Chain A
Amino acid sequence: MMFLRYAIYRFITMLLTLWVVSIMIFVIINLPPGDYLSNQIAELRATGQAEGVAKAEFLRVEYALDRPIWEQYLIWVGMAPGPQGWYGLIQGNFGWSFEFDRPVSEIVGDALWLTVLVNLAAVLFVYLVALPLGVLAAAKSETWVDYSAAFVGYLGLATPNFLLALMLFYYGNKYFDLPIGGLMDPRFEGAPMSWEKVRSVLIHLIVPTFVIGTSGAAAMMQRLRANMLDELGKPYVETAKAKGLAPSKLLAKYPLRMAFNPFVADIGNLLPAMISGSVLVSVVLGLQTIGPSLLTALKSQDQFLAGFILMFVALLTLIGTMVSDLLLVLLDPRIRYGARAA
C-alpha cells in the first residue's frame, strides 16, 4: 500500500517535471530568430514565387505561428484551443513537419520503437557487463584482473562515443563480418514482423549497443567495485570467511546484495548520458532512430518535429529514472518512502 502511494507520488512528480521540461524545450526551439515558415516566405518572396507564399501564409495561420509565443506554447501542448480546436501533444497530435510536409507522427513512426529498443539493449548491456566485471574486480582487487578492468573502463570513459562507433564498425565488419550501418537489413524495412527481421535487427544491434553502453558500463563497474570493496572490509565478511564459507558463495550471499542497491539506483543517473549517447551514435551509424531526424530538424528549424523529438527523449529519460527509483524502493526496505537521496 505504501509502495502504491509512493508510486503514484513519483508518477505525479514525473508529470510535473515533464510539464516544466516542455516549457523549456519550447523556449529552446523558438530561440533562433524567425521560424521555418517565415524564412520560407522570405525566400519565396525573394525569388518571386507568389503562389507558394499563399500556402505558407495559410500554414502559418493554421499552426498558429502568428500568435504570441505563450499562446503558441499552450496550443502546442494542447492546453488551449488552436485553429483546429483542442489538438496538441496531450490529445495525441504531435504536430506538423514543415520540411517534410507530413505529420510528425508519420515521420518518426517506427523510429520511436527502435529508439526504445536501442536504449533498452544498451541498459541491458550495461548490467550484463558491469555486474560480473565489477564483482570480479573487487574480489580480485589489486591484481591484474582489477587493473585491466580499470584500464578498459578508463578507455571506455575517455574515447568519444562516435569514434568508438566508427572504429568498431570498421573492424567489426572486417574481422567478424558484422553489418555496416542501419538497424536492419534494407529489405526488411517496412516489412511485417518475422523471425528473419528480428534476427537482422539483433545482429545490427551489436555494435550500437556496445558503443552506447561502454562508458556507462565503465562508470557502473567502478561504482560497483567501490561498493563491494566497502562491504568486503566489514566484520561479517570476516566471520563468514572464518566459518569456512566458499569464496564464491561468500561473495554472492552478503556483500553483493548490499552493494546491489546503489547499482540499481545508478541507472537513473546514467540514463540521461546514455540517451544522449544514443542520439549521437545513431547519427554517426545511420541508425533509424530519432537521432538523425533530430539533427536535421534542428538544422532546418523544423520546430514541431524538433520539439516533439526532444520531448520524447526527455520522456524516455524521465520514465527510466522513475522506474529505477521504484525498483530501488522495492529492493531496499530501508529506503524511506518519499525521501530523496541527498
Chain B
Amino acid sequence: MKQLPDGRFVDETPWSDDADLSAPERSDMDAPNWLLVWRKFRRHRLGLISGLFLLICYLILPIAGFIAPYTANERSAEYLYAPPQSINLWHEGQFIGPYVYPTTATADLENFRWTYETDTTRPMPLQFFCEGAEYRLLGFIPSDTHLFCAPEGATIFLWGSDRLGRDVFSRILYGAQLSLTVGLIGITVSFALGIFFGAIAGYFGGKTDWFINRVIEVLRSLPELPLWLALSAAVPSNWGPVAVFFIISIILGILDWPGLARAVRSKFLSLREEEYVRAAEMMGAKPGRVIRRHLLPNFMSHLIASATLSIPAMILGETALSFLGLGLRAPAVSWGVMLNDAQNLASIEIYPWTAIPMLPIIFVVLAFNFLGDGLRASLDPYKS
C-alpha cells in the first residue's frame, strides 16, 4: 500500500485478471456458522460478560476446596455468628501485606447474642498455600493445601460465620458445587425428554401428536412448585445426600420439558415437509436417522439458547425446595440449604450476613438470563 502525494492509497501489487474480486466478501460468507455466531455474540456486551462470569464460576467448582479457607462443615465453636472480617494491607501507614485482625467473642447475656471485639493492635498476616482441613480436589484427589488460611490464633471469615460457626464464604463455594450443577442435570433431563417427545410428536403427527400435545397442555397448566414439593416429599428420608441430589435434579427436569417439546414439535411440523427430508426418506433412512441427522441439527442452537434460559428456573427451584426443607438436606451444602438459616426476620436483622448466599443466586440467575438473551439474538447470523 502506497500513499500518493494527493493523499490517495494505491496498492502496488500488479493487477491480474485472475484475481477474485469477491474474495474480501467471500471470507465473510464462507466463514463457518459458529464463527459468524461468535462475531455477532461478541458485540452483545452484556451476554459476553455474563458468559465469562459463568465460565469462571463453573471452572471454580472442581477446585472450590482449594480456594475456600475452610471446609464445608468445619466448625469454629468459639466463633458463632461472627461478623464478616476484612483483609487489610496497610497497618498504621505501613504496608505489611494482606493481614487480618484477631477477634474475640463475648456473650452478651442481656440481648442473648454474641458480640465480637476486634483487636486492632495486632495485625496477623494471612498464610498462603498453607495446610488446613483435608478435602478432595476434583472430587477424588485428597489434599490439604488451601490457597489462603487464617494465621494461628485468628480466623478468616470473609462473609462471617453462621449459627454453628461455619465459614459462610467457604460454604458458598462448596454450595455452588451442588446449586450450579442441579440446573445442568435438570436441563439435561428436560432436554432429552423434550427433544424425544417433541420430535416424535412433530415427525409422526396424527394420534401420537394429539396424545403428546394433550400431555404437554396438562403439564403446562399446572403450578410447578406444589408438584415439585409433592414429588420431593416422596423421596425417602434415609437416602444419602448424593442420591437425593440426583433425584431432586431429575424432579426439576421432569416438569420442565413441555415448553421445549412444544418448540421442537412446531419446528418439526414445518421442517418435515422439506425436500431434503423426503430425499432422505426415499433413500431409505429410518425415522430415527432422519430426526437425528437431518432435522435436529437445523435448530439445535436455538434449543441450546432456550435451554440456557430455563436453567435459572431450576436453580431457583432447588433453592426454594431446600429452603422449605424438602430439597437437599443438612450435611449436603447448597445455597438453598444455607438460606434455610436466614429463614426468620431475627437473623436478617441481627446477623444480616447469613443472607449473603442470595447474592450469588441473583448474580448467577441474571447471568444465565443475559447469556441466553445474547445467544438467542446472535444465533441467526444472516439476519441483521
Contacts and interface: CB of A to CB of B under 8 A. Distances in A.
Interface of A: 17, 20-21, 24-25, 28-29, 31-33, 154-155, 157-163, 166-167, 169-170, 180, 269, 271-273, 275-277, 279-280, 283-284, 294-295, 298-299, 301, 306, 309-310, 313-314, 317-318, 321, 342
Nearest to A161: B320
B299 to A, nearest CB: 15
B137 interface: no
Given A17-B218, A170-B348, A313 B223 contact: yes
B292 interface: no
B365 A21 contact: no
Contact of B225 (A159, A180, A277, A321): A277
A306 B230 contact: yes
B230 A158 contact: no
B349 interface: yes
A31 B231 contact: yes
Given A272-B223, A294-B226, A17 B348 contact: no
B230 A166 contact: no
Contact of B223 (A154, A169, A276): A276
B225 A276 contact: yes
Given A170-B348, A318-B221, A157 B365 contact: yes
Contacts of A32: 233-234, 236
B232 to A, nearest CB: 9
Contact of A279 (B217, B218, B225, B319): B225
A79 B214 CA distance: 23
A166 B236 contact: no
Contacts of A277: 225
A163 B231 contact: no
A24 B316 CA distance: 24
B312 interface: yes
Contact of A298 (B217, B222, B233): B233
Nearest to B319: A160
Contacts of A306: 230, 233
| Majority secondary structure, B binding face | helix
Nearest to B313: A273
B358 A160 contact: yes
Nearest to B321: A280
B369 interface: yes
A158 B362 contact: yes
Interface in B222-268: 222-227, 229-231, 233-234, 236, 266
Interface stretch (B4-12, B107-115, B339-347): B339-347
Nearest to B224: A276
Contacts of B362: 155, 158-159
19 contacts: A20-B218, A31-B234, A32-B233, A157-B312, A158-B361, A160-B316, A160-B358, A162-B320, A170-B349, A269-B220, A271-B223, A273-B224, A276-B225, A279-B223, A283-B324, A294-B229, A298-B233, A298-B326, A318-B221
A28 B232 CA distance: 10
Contact of A314 (B222, B225, B358, B365): B222
Contacts of B339: 160, 163
Contacts of B366: 154-155, 158
Contacts of B348: 166-167, 170
A29 B224 CA distance: 15
B355 interface: yes
B41 interface: no
A180 B226 contact: no
B353 interface: no
A157 B369 contact: yes
Contacts of A31: 231, 234
Given A159-B362, A160-B339, A317-B221, 14 more contacts: A17-B218, A20-B214, A157-B312, A160-B320, A160-B358, A271-B223, A272-B221, A273-B223, A279-B229, A294-B229, A295-B229, A295-B324, A313-B223, A313-B226
Contacts of A313: 223, 226
B66 interface: no
Interface string B343-384: 101001100000100100110011001000000000000000
B157 interface: no
Contacts of B320: 160-162, 280
A321 B225 CA distance: 17
A154 to B, nearest CB: 6
Interface in B294-326: 312, 316, 319-320, 323-326
Contact of A160 (B221, B224, B361, B369): B361
A28 B231 contact: yes
Nearest to B265: A342
Contact of B226 (A17, A162, A284, A310): A310
Nearest to A171: B348
A298 B230 contact: yes
Contacts of B226: 275-276, 279, 294, 309-310, 313
A124 B319 CA distance: 27
Given A158-B312, A313-B223, A299 B233 contact: yes
A295 B319 CA distance: 16
A118 to B, nearest CB: 13
B326 to A, nearest CB: 7
Contacts of B325: 299
Contacts of A159: 358, 362
A157 B312 CA distance: 9
A162 B345 contact: no
A166 B233 contact: no
B349 to A, nearest CB: 7
Interface pairs A-B: 3 shortest CB-CB:
A276-B225, A31-B234, A298-B233
Nearest to A19: B218
A121 to B, nearest CB: 17
Interface string B199-218: 00000000000000010011
A272 B236 contact: no
A29 B229 CA distance: 10
B349 A272 contact: no
A157 B227 CA distance: 21
A60 B130 CA distance: 62
Nearest to A314: B222
